[in-house]
Amino acid sequence: MVDYIGTARLRELISRVGSGRFIEELSGEIEADYRRWDDFEKSPRHAIHSSGGVIELMPTSDGRLYSFKYVNGHPKNTAKHLLTVTAFGLLADVGTGYPLLLSEMTFVTALRTAAISALAARRMARPATRVMALIGNGAQSEFQAIAFHRLVGVRNLRLYDTDPQATSKLMRNLESLQLPGLEVTRCASTADAVRGADVVTTATADKRNAIILTPQMIEPGMHLNAVGGDCPGKTELHPEILRAQDVRIVVEFEPQARIEGEIQQLGAVDELGAVRTVTELADVVRGRLPGRANDREVTLFDSVGFALNDFSSLRYLRRLNAEQPDGGQCIDLIPELDDPKDLFAGLSPEHAQERAKLRRRRFA
């Protein structure tokens, strides 16, 4: 039997611990795994692109556990009353190859994206960060707001979206959360929202090379949390922001970010033949490189999502699920056989009846 967490079970877990605490604990799990970065097998995710979106597989392993996530990104889905992003993931034992957990990851992807954003910001944003502009008020926005309020100290949230209904939705949800001390302001434009902000988070959905932020909007000391650009041909920042020598760029995994992140806009070398260097988050977490040099430096976290974030999430979910009094749910994804060399016998009705009796006795 394999542990199973569906959307209903995840709602139960979140309601028991609270979304803020969940994101905070998950951020700690992710941080712990980035500290042992060298233990993991790493590769860019495998992507199949179409005119409407992308379907991706994201695998990794630390030699003891293996995980993968299936995730799609289809920005036009909302016109059909479908989600832009859906996902599920699996955690397995490397020693036997047996799956340990099958879990929904549509909600979890949003939660872990917020967790990694806050983790990076705590090392890259200025210590006195209080004001965040949130550009793009769709499915990811509430999670980002919760994470930055709880983990970074944001108390003034400035909102803008080209769709006013998205901003109204976000404001309603934030009001229901009653986050202590949080002031929320609806802004008339991106430029209005980012003016005076300590952190600017861009989380838009369109699959195109958009220009959400321009160099003129960037102020000294800002931290840019770019989470919307996450596949080839999908970016949010003007390329001159990336080329500026006074901007420190941090990514999760450079080979993947070069394909899918904001830095896909940078060539291997610039017009002078120089390579625009970037820093991997693991080096910042492990203290090998700084997240920022001073309070006037502009920092950019170019986040596209990486398999290690999902590995940490699945491991955390499995432990959290097991800690609950009811123990959670299992599914019969893998055959249970008396003779592992006799797979055919497992299809017989008699075998199924015997296994059902054993399960009833086990849980009686």
d(CA 252, CA 296): 23
d(CA 86, CA 247): 33
Of 3, 33, 161, 230, catalytic: 230
d(CA 299, CA 148): 16
Q: Which residue has the tokens 């980012």?
A: 194
Residue 133, SS3?
Answer: strand
Tokens representing 131 are 């004001």
Is 230 marked active-site? yes
Residue burial 288-309, b: 16+ Cβ < 10 Å; e: rest? eeebbeeeebbbbbbbbbbbbb
Work out whether the CA dihedral 9, 12, 16, 18 comes out positive or negative.
positive
> Strand (E) positions, the chain?
2-5, 46-49, 54-61, 65-73, 87-93, 99-104, 131-135, 156-160, 183-186, 199-202, 209-213, 223-226, 235-237, 247-251, 279-280, 298-302, 329-331
Write down the H helix ranges in 306-363: 307-323, 349-363
Contact assessment for residue 196 and residue 171, using Cβ atoms and an 8 Å cutoff? no
d(CA 327, CA 317): 12
Largest CA distance in the chain: 74
For residue 217, give the H/E element and its range: none
Work out whether the CA dihedral 78, 80, 84, 87 comes out positive or negative.
positive
Active-site annotation, residues? 230
